[in-house]
Chains A and B, each alone.
Chain A
Amino acid sequence: MEYKLTFKAYNEALKQNKLLGLKCQDCGAITAPPKIACSKCTSNNLEITQLKGSGTIKTFTTVNVTSEGREGEVPYTIVMVGLDEGPWLMGNIEIDPQKATMDIIGKRVKMLQSKVFPGDKYSAGDGARPLFGFEA
């Protein structure tokens, strides 16, 4: 049983600013982040698909206290975005912390590019995530 879209492949694609997910060949649902089973019907009959990267902000937070080794990044704003294809993803948005208020919930965003966390001694390598920006 082959894992169709591993984190390694997802990560390499995202570093090239390509956001990948999986389309279920049985029920049509999109699964993202990638899994071995369809998130809706559990079928393993999945094909890799490219996602548009656009959606709406479901929620957010601006972080002031962070993990050991990432202190240089604060403050930063995390968003959970409900993609147009259905799934939610976690990423960041570059925004003045003063402007990161409840008003941004529901706003449409698009992935501008990815941003890479270089990894630390606990992480088994680096990890990219989407950097979102407001749609005009």
Chain B
Amino acid sequence: MRKVAVVGVAQTKFSGSQEKTEVELFAEAATEAIQASSLKPKDIQAAFVGNVLGDFSEGQGTVQAFAVENIGCFNIPTNRYEGACASASMAVRDAFMWVASGFYDIVLAGGVERAATMGTALATRTFAMFSDSRYEFPAGITFPGVFAMLAHLYAAKYNIPIKKLKEQMAIVSVQSYKYGMHNPRAHLRKEVKVEDVLKSFMVATPLQLHDCCPFSDGAAAVILAPEDVAKKLTNKPVYIIGAGQASSGPLVSQGDYLPRIKARELSSKRAYDMAGVGPEDIDLCELHDCFSIASILAAEGMGFFEFGKAGEAWEKGEAAIGGKVAINPSGGLKSKGHPIGATGAGQVYEIVKQLRGEVEPGRLVEGAKIGMTDTLGGDATTVVNMILRKGW
């Protein structure tokens, strides 16, 4: 397997409902990434595009084919990836494999979504499609409902009074917003205090509005190339040194293992094994905080903190910049936003920018060498983890 580097990266500003089409958003991100790589559209050999709900949000299927033609990458093979919120990570991981194998040299990977454009009612309905439509949706499951149940289960399992857990969850959200304030590409940029979280509207007990990430519109794109090609295009190649993925069945089928997420434990182990590093080596992690509780579950699942203890770690600042591992210095899904088909590529964008020292000082993780991404789709049915290392 060859060494694969990320060359140019780009991300649109993630936002609420806006009027650019998915093809337009992706075209902007992709074109910027191609130019940032000192390449031209004709240099791209294949494209790997995450997009979950374009059919519903715009009546647009096969967005990947329309997008590559739009940007001038005529007639290249292009795939669409659907793994709910993990879609763009699936796309990047797959792109990595094709380049690592030697089949392609220069590829484009990323994703796009217009989740906000759908409005809350339709977005809630379509996000509920990531649960089991036959055996879970009839009971009225919603995506916040999934994590709400995991939050109650977590409190019960680790004997944490729910009031205490909610305070720890609020601290997670507050930290995300704090870093998002320094990120001009973030969707929700506001100062939020713990009291604001605990006073906000109750979406699904125990999750309140500020425990939940927003629906967002946006796109992100990255260019991958093997080491020898990458070194000609950039003096700051970032190598993907580990990539893992795993799946699970619906929430009910995961049963007794919950609130631990089996798919993430397997996926992150696969990434760590490939990379030859462990959780202690990770300087920063962009992880899947679709809900505040999800951050706690993710940090534990990846081995940063002991099971049942991540909330305390956030309280002690161990998950902050300057702590044990800097979690979501972009502002995370919570503040940076969550255009689900693009999110995983947005995480890669952030890690690459951080390792290159190309982010705003208020959220820079100084001296970072190794970063990790983590995306979870649906009922924890799809998890992808990638590990990236500074290559100069």
A interface residues, Cβ below 8 angstroms from B: 7, 11, 33, 39, 58-71, 73, 76, 78, 80, 82, 87-92, 97, 100, 102, 105-106, 115-117, 120, 122-124, 126-129
Which 6 pairs from chain A and chain B are nearest by CB? A127-B138, A61-B148, A68-B121, A67-B125, A59-B153, A117-B138
* In the assembled complex, B198 has its CB within 8 A of some CB on chain A: no
Tell me, yes or no, whether B120 is within 8 Å of chain A by CB: yes
Alpha-carbon distance between A62 and B207 when the two chains are bound, in angstroms = 10
A-B contact list, 18 entries, CB within 8 Å: A33-B132, A33-B253, A61-B148, A63-B204, A64-B202, A64-B204, A65-B120, A67-B121, A67-B128, A76-B140, A80-B149, A89-B252, A100-B205, A102-B155, A105-B153, A106-B156, A123-B133, A126-B138
Chain B 96-130 per-residue mask, 1 if CB under 8 angstroms from chain A, else 0: 00000000000000000000000011101100110
Whether the Cβ atoms of A90 and B141 lie closer than 8 Å is: yes
Supposing A67-B121, A80-B149, A122-B129 touch, asked if A88 and B252 sit within 8 A by C-beta, the answer is: yes
Task: Select from chain B the residue with minimum beta-carbon distance to A6.
Answer: B134
Q: Which positions in B face A, CB cutoff 8 Å?
A: 120-122, 124-125, 128-129, 132-142, 144-145, 148-150, 152-153, 155-156, 162, 201-207, 250-253, 255-256, 258
Chain A neighbourhood of B204, CB < 8 A: 61-65
Closest to A67 in B: B125
A61 touches B145 (CB 8 A): yes
Chain A residue at minimum C-beta to C-beta distance from B119: A68
Q: Specify which of B134, B148, B162, B256 lies most central, judged by the most chain A CB atoms within 10 Å of its CB.
A: B134
Would you give the shortest CB distance from A70 to chain B, in whole angstroms? 6
> Given A59-B258, A82-B255, 4 more contacts at CB 8 Å?
A63-B145, A65-B142, A66-B140, A90-B141
Chain B residues with CB under 8 Å of A59's CB are: 149-150, 152-153, 156, 258
Q: Are A78 and B140 in contact (CB under 8 A)?
A: yes
Per the bound structure, the CA–CA distance linking A59 and B203 in Å amounts to 17
* Docked-complex contact A88 and B255, CB < 8 angstroms: yes
Chain B residue nearest in CB terms to A76: B140
Count CB-based A-B contacts (< 8 Å).
125
- Residues on the B chain within 8 Å of A116, using CB: 138
| Most chain B CB inside 10 Å of its own CB: which residue of A87, A90, A120, A123 | A90
Q: B311 to chain A: closest CB distance in Å?
A: 16
Query: Knowing A61-B205, A100-B205 touch, does A67 contact B134 (C-beta < 8 A)?
Result: no
Most buried by A among B137, B139, B255: B139
Q: Which residue of A lies closest to B254 (CB)?
A: A88
Question: Measured between C-beta atoms, what is the minimum distance from B194 to chain A in Å?
Answer: 21
Asked if B137 contacts A123 (CB within 8 A), the reply is: yes
Contacts of A102 in B (CB 8 A): 152, 155-156, 162
- Highest count of chain B CB atoms <10 Å: which of A88, A89, A117: A88
A64, A80, A127, most chain B CB atoms within 10 A: A80
- Chain A residue numbers with a CB within 8 Å of B128 are 67
| Chain B residues whose C-beta falls within 8 Å of the C-beta of A122 in the assembled complex | 125, 129
Q: Does A90 lie within 8 Å of B136, measured CB to CB?
A: yes
How far apart are the CA atoms of A67 and B137 in the complex, in Å?
10
Pairwise interchain contact B252-A60, C-beta atoms closer than 8 A: no
Q: From residue A9, how far is it (CB to closest CB) to chain B in Å?
A: 12
User: Are A127 and B252 closer than 8 Å at their CB atoms?
Assistant: no
How far, in angstroms, from A62 to B121 measured CA to CA in the complex?
17
Contacts of A92 in B (CB 8 A): 139-140
Residue of B at shortest CB range from A128? B138
Report the bound CA distance from A91 to B140 in whole Å. 9
| B205 contact set on A, CB distance < 8 A | 61-62, 97, 100
Query: Considering the chains assembled together, what is the distance between the CA atoms of A127 and B135 in angstroms?
Result: 8
In the complex, are the beta carbons of B124 and A65 less than 8 A apart? yes
Q: How far is the CA of A88 from the CA of B135 in the complex (A)?
A: 11
Residue numbers in B under 8 Å from A60 (CB-CB) = 149, 152
Of the listed residues B136, B138, B156, the one surrounded by the most CB atoms of chain A closer than 10 A to its CB is: B138
Residue contact B152 to A65, C-beta cutoff 8 Å:
no
Whether B142 pairs with A91 at a CB distance below 8 angstroms is no
Residues of B within 8 A of A63 (CB): 140, 142, 144-145, 148, 204
Are B138 and A70 in contact (CB-based, < 8 A)?
A: no
**Who on chain B is nearest to A92 by CB?**
B139
| Residues of B contacting A88 in the complex (Cβ-Cβ under 8 angstroms) | 252-253, 255
Task: Please pick, from A39, A67, A100, A127, the residue contacting B142 in the complex, using a CB distance under 8 A.
Answer: A67
Residue of B nearest to A93 (CB): B139
User: Once the chains bind, are A39 and B253 in contact (CB under 8 Å)?
Assistant: yes
B141 CB contacts on chain A under 8 angstroms: 78, 90
Q: From residue B329, how far is it (CB to closest CB) to chain A in Å?
A: 29
Whether A129 contacts B139 in the complex (CB less than 8 A), given A33-B134, A67-B121, A90-B251, comes out as: yes
